[in-house]
């Protein structure tokens, strides 16, 4: 199992990093379009659309919708309302979904659940493409918020975890893990900004933009907010899987589960980071 995880991670990095750093944004867009289409297929299956044709159609339709939206990537003003819609949706809707839990989620109409998930995936891909257009440093720093929060929460939870965060959704998560994740993101942000002083030609990171737009106090508020949303994204996908009786969203990535299992925490963080930086 560990060997599979390592091999899959190496293959993913070998595909992602050259596409991310390529001068032309097209390779990155095409690779992420394939991944978001796979995530759409997984979402359809988790929400009761198990027929091959229907689930694959959902994935293809999502990929096409993302491709048709590429013209919006350079239009920051036109996208601003979408980012704030996503922020409100994740804060209010995310709290409502977690409150209803795995028992309440299937009570929503299946087509509503399907459309909601595809919309969230579409917004996340659009935010990712917009972030890549701003700069590699900017997009990579947003992704590192999620990765750092997850790693710090894992080790902090194992070392200090006592109080369960959401036992009916993800029994392994603790409040101490969340606090550890937030501390890890703080450390990441200030280390990144310190290193940025030596990269005068690089695009600004999300931390530098937040600091410029909101000041130090605003940055100290935004960082735990983004950390909390990464937890909400993770819990939301866990809720949907538990409601469907599935351990993983699929087996597309050996040793890792599915695409949704790898991007769940990014779904809220990407568009909300765009909202906070494009104010």
Task: Give residue 13's domain range.
Answer: 2-277
Number of domains in the chain: 1
Output the pTM of the full model: 0.94
pLDDT in tens, 18-66: 998 998 989 999 999 999 999 999 999 999 887 778 899 999 999 999 9
Question: pLDDT 10s digit of each residue in the chain, 279 long?
Answer: 556 777 887 888 888 889 989 989 899 999 999 999 999 999 999 998 877 788 999 999 999 999 999 988 888 888 999 999 999 999 999 999 999 999 999 999 999 999 999 999 999 999 999 999 999 999 999 999 999 999 999 999 999 989 999 999 998 999 999 999 999 999 999 999 999 988 877 789 999 999 999 999 999 999 999 999 999 999 999 999 999 999 999 888 887 789 999 999 999 999 999 999 987
Structure tokens at 109: 């109409």
pLDDT in tens, 89-115: 999 999 999 999 999 999 999 999 999
């Amino acid at each position: 199992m560990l060997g599979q995880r390592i091999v899959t991670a190496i293959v993913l990095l070998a595909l992602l990093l050259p596409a991310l750093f390529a001068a032309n944004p097209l390779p990155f867009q095409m690779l992420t379009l394939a991944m978001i289409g796979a995530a759409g297929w997984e979402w359809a299956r988790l929400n009761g659309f198990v027929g091959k044709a229907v689930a694959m159609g959902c994935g293809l339709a999502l990929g096409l919708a993302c491709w048709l939206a590429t013209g919006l990537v350079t239009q920051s003003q036109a996208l601003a309302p979408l980012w704030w819609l996503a922020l409100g949706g994740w804060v209010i809707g995310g709290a409502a979904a977690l409150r209803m839990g795995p028992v309440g989620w299937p009570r929503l109409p299946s087509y509503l659940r399907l459309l909601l998930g595809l919309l969230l995936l579409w917004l996340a891909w659009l935010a990712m493409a917009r972030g890549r257009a701003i700069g590699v440093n900017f997009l990579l720093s947003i992704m590192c918020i999620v990765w750092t929060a997850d790693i710090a929460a894992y080790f902090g939870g194992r070392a200090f975890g006592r109080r369960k965060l959401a036992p009916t959704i993800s029994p392994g998560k603790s409040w101490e893990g969340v606090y550890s994740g937030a501390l890890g993101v703080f450390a990441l942000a200030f280390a990144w900004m310190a290193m940025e002083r030596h990269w005068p030609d690089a695009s600004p990171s999300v931390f530098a933009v937040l600091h410029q737009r909101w000041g130090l106090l605003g940055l100290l508020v935004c960082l735990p907010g983004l950390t909390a949303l990464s937890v909400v994204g993770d819990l939301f996908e866990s809720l949907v899987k538990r409601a469907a009786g599935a351990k993983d969203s699929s087996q597309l990535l050996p040793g890792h589960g599915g695409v949704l299992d790898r991007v769940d925490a990014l779904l809220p963080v990407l568009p909300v980071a765009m909202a906070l930086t494009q104010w």
